[in-house]
A and B are shown apart, each in its own frame.
Chain A
């Protein structure tokens, strides 16, 4: 038996606020928004975008959910792990995925600057207008879930793949 197996993990924290119960109409609108924003996007690309934004926003609950959903959708472990340094591991991804990841970073880290022209234009080169519209919407929606997850300190570890799809 290794030390790792015998030493218990730190205790699980409770959530701060059951926001969906206290604001059911807000939750309903979020579900509707999520469903609308994912239409027309390739599921594996969508999960890459969701994991990347959740990394930037440090949303543990969202990372748990979307890494499990990505694996269930056939994504590889190494592509999920490399997302944390995708700029240095672009050969793990298609040019289209790289363009989507760059746009995800720019739209997520908005307080530091605007969305650079070159990032936007690269995405526009790989995504036709309707798909780009959905991609931007999807990036903003995972940012929205991240904000609920982090602020309300939602607890990771209990999600089962496909539960919210």
Chain B
């Protein structure tokens, strides 16, 4: 099953534009993929993990960063402060049903990203959460994506 079968064409186009606009505004493709892979882990989206791990490698994200991503908080020295604040924000924005986005998490991210970057980073997390929900709901199989 491909993407076009699980979404109306107009919906798929708008969602693709949402992801693209967020990535353009963030302007950091490697960080974008780290964030997208982490959200896909939390949402258990096999299709999205398969796809974005491939894209992350293409953008030069290291194997070590990808291997340890599920335990990034404990992986000292593997991610810089900017990446860590982005990952913490990604988790807070993704796991919304348990709690609000804590002030500490938001404020730390705001120290490393200006308002424009932050708005696009949030947009990116929102967009991948949207893809995750579509792909998990329709049980789209991993392995169909080729970079």
Contact = CB atoms under 8 A, between A and B. Distances in A.
Interface stretch (B28-36, B60-68, B94-102): B94-102
A146 B96 contact: yes
A96 interface: no
Given A107-B137, A111-B43, A22 B126 contact: no
Contacts of A108: 97, 133
> Ordered nearest first, which 4 A-B pairs have the shortest CB separation?
A22-B119, A33-B14, A23-B119, A29-B18
B11 A111 contact: no
Interface in B96-140: 96-98, 100-101, 106, 115-116, 118-120, 122-123, 125-127, 129-130, 132-134, 136-139
Interface residues of A, number: 51
Contacts of A36: 8, 10-11, 13-14
B15 A26 contact: no
Interface string A87-117: 0000000000000000100111111111100
B7 interface: yes
Question: Which of A107, A110, A144 has the largest count of B CB atoms less than 10 A from its CB?
Answer: A110
